[in-house]
């Protein structure tokens, strides 16, 4: 760990539980990863899909990581610019997938944190509490409350979180769709592209809470596919195919998986 007046650099081992790192940083008032509270998994897995939630992504605070190539044993440091981070992706999910084991990573956090609450649901929940000077702890606690309410606990019902990525479409196409569906949930990406909430698309196709055998979409969150029993990989694969087909038919948008399919 090193620090100056404004920033602190934290190095964490790959085996650390991600949320324990978030908790540690929030307790110290180091800002930058509080919106990523209670994302399940390890620190080492966080860069793989550049984990993100509520307007923050790992890449926003990421400095570098260390690891080893499995075939050659060669050690390498990947700087941020080497990692090809993008929305739910990185070089570790593409070019070097399954060839490199991450052993630790460094994050640069802010000692005078800016609170980021760009999401309506988060803003509404924080406003409800009527707190004037928001702290990182307030944000973390509120995110935990929202997530616990809307996401199924993998310890109780098998699930991998969001199954699909939120599709990013051209503004022209977005404007046409928005005309037909004024309640469509979307977020601007840049001047030319808009991100559409995949959960909204799935819900509008009537697939929220729908179940076929032991597979279904979660009752409170259409983006999460749950395994209610002993569903096989093939059953889940078939189910996701139905959803993709329905969304493509209605909106002309092909959903992409956020999860990795292991064949
Ligand atoms: C209920 C729920 C909610 C979720 N919410 C979010 C969310 O809000 N945002 C988000 O981005 N994700 C979310 N996820 C997805 C998941 O939490 C993340 O992808 C997380 O990083 C997975 O961590 P893991 O340790 O379980 O990795 P695994 O699922 O075990 O592995 C994921 C991939 O990373 C690779 N990997 C793991 N560790 C290393 C390492 N040290 N070196 C190299 N490769 C490695 C694995 O080989 C695999 O390909 C959610 C999942 C669930 C179940």
Mean pLDDT over 51-66 rounds to: 96
Q: In the prediction, which pLDDT does 174 show?
A: 97
Which ligand 1 atom sits closest to the C-alpha of 15? 41
Give burial (CB, 10 Å; 0-12/13-18/19+) of 154.
middle
Same domain, 90 and 139: yes
**In this structure, are 22 and 41 located in the same domain?**
yes
Domains: count for the chain: 2
Q: Is residue 199 part of a domain?
A: yes
Q: Quick one: 95 and 78 in the same domain?
A: yes
Answer yes or no: is 259 within a domain: no
- Name the domain boundary from 94, 129, 150: 150
Please state, in angstroms and rounded to a whole number, the distance separating the CA atoms of residues 225 and 223: 7
Q: Residue 133 — very low, low, confident or very high, per pLDDT cuts 50/70/90?
A: confident
Same domain, yes or no: 17 and 110: yes
> Is residue 124 domain-shared with residue 51, that is, in the same domain?
yes
Are 90 and 172 within one domain? no
- Within-domain flag for 257: no
Percent of the chain with pLDDT over 70: 100
Q: What does each C-alpha distance from 243 to 45, 160, 202, 220 come to in angstroms?
A: 27, 16, 7, 16
Say if residue 120 is in the same domain as residue 174.
no
**Is the Cβ atom of 90 under 6 angstroms away from ligand 1?**
no
CATH number at residue 53: 3.30.465.10
How large is the average pLDDT for residues 229-252? 96
Residues 135 and 42 occupy one common structural domain: yes
Residue at 63 is within a domain: yes
Q: Which of 64, 88, 140, 240 is catalytic?
A: 88
67 and 136 inside one domain: yes
Whether residue 95 is found in the same domain as residue 173: no
Residues 124 and 227 in one domain: no
CA-based nearest residue to 145, from 25, 38, 40, 220: 38
Same-domain check for residues 232 and 167: yes
Model pLDDT for residues 164-208, shown as the tens digit of each residue:
999 999 999 999 999 999 999 999 998 899 999 999 999 999 999
Nearest atom of ligand 1 to the alpha carbon of 46: 21
More confident residue, 132 or 95: 95
Please, what is the end-to-end C-alpha distance for the chain in angstroms?
Answer: 40
User: Residue 235 sits in which domain range?
Assistant: 158-251
Ligand 1 within 6 A of CB of 259:
no
| 120: pLDDT strictly greater than 80 | no
Mean pLDDT, residues 6-23 taken together: 98
Is 88 known to be catalytic? yes
Q: Is the CB of 40 under 6 A from ligand 1?
A: yes
Residue 22 lies in a domain: yes
Residue 260 lies in a domain: no
Helix (H, G, I), strand (E, B) or coil at 154: coil
Spacing, Cα 98 to ligand 1 middle (Å): 14
Q: Is residue 187 situated within a structural domain?
A: yes
In the annotation, is 147 catalytic? no
Q: Is 89 a catalytic residue?
A: no
Chosen domain end from 150, 177, 203: 150
Of 119, 150, 181, the one marking the end of a domain is 150
Over residues 10-27, mean pLDDT:
98
């Amino acid at each position: 760990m090193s620090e100056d007046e404004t920033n602190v650099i934290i190095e964490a081992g790959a085996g650390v539980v991600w949320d324990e790192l978030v908790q540690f940083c929030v307790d110290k008032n180091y800002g930058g990863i509080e919106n990523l509270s209670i994302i399940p998994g390890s620190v080492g897995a966080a860069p793989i899909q550049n984990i993100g939630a509520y307007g923050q992504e790992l890449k926003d605070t990421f400095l570098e990581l260390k690891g080893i190539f499995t075939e050659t044993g060669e050690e390498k440091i990947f700087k941020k610019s080497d990692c090809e981070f993008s929305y739910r992706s990185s070089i570790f999910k593409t070019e070097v997938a399954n060839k490199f084991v991450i052993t630790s990573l460094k994050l640069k956090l802010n000692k005078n944190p800016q609170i980021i609450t760009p999401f309506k649901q988060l803003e509404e929940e924080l406003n409800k509490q009527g707190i004037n000077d928001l702290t990182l702890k307030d944000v973390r606690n509120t995110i935990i409350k929202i997530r616990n309410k809307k996401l199924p606990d993998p310890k109780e019902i098998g699930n991998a979180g969001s199954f699909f990525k939120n599709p990013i479409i051209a503004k022209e196409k977005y404007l046409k769709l928005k005309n037909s569906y004024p309640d469509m949930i979307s977020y601007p990406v840049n001047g030319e592209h808009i991100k559409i909430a995949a959960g909204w698309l799935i819900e509008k196709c009537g697939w929220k809470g729908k179940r076929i055998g032991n597979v279904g979409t979660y009752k409170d969150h259409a983006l999460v596919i749950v395994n209610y029993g002993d569903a096989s990989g093939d059953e889940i694969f078939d189910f996701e195919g139905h959803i993709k087909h329905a969304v493509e038919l209605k909106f002309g948008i092909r959903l992409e998986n956020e999860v990795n399919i292991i064949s």
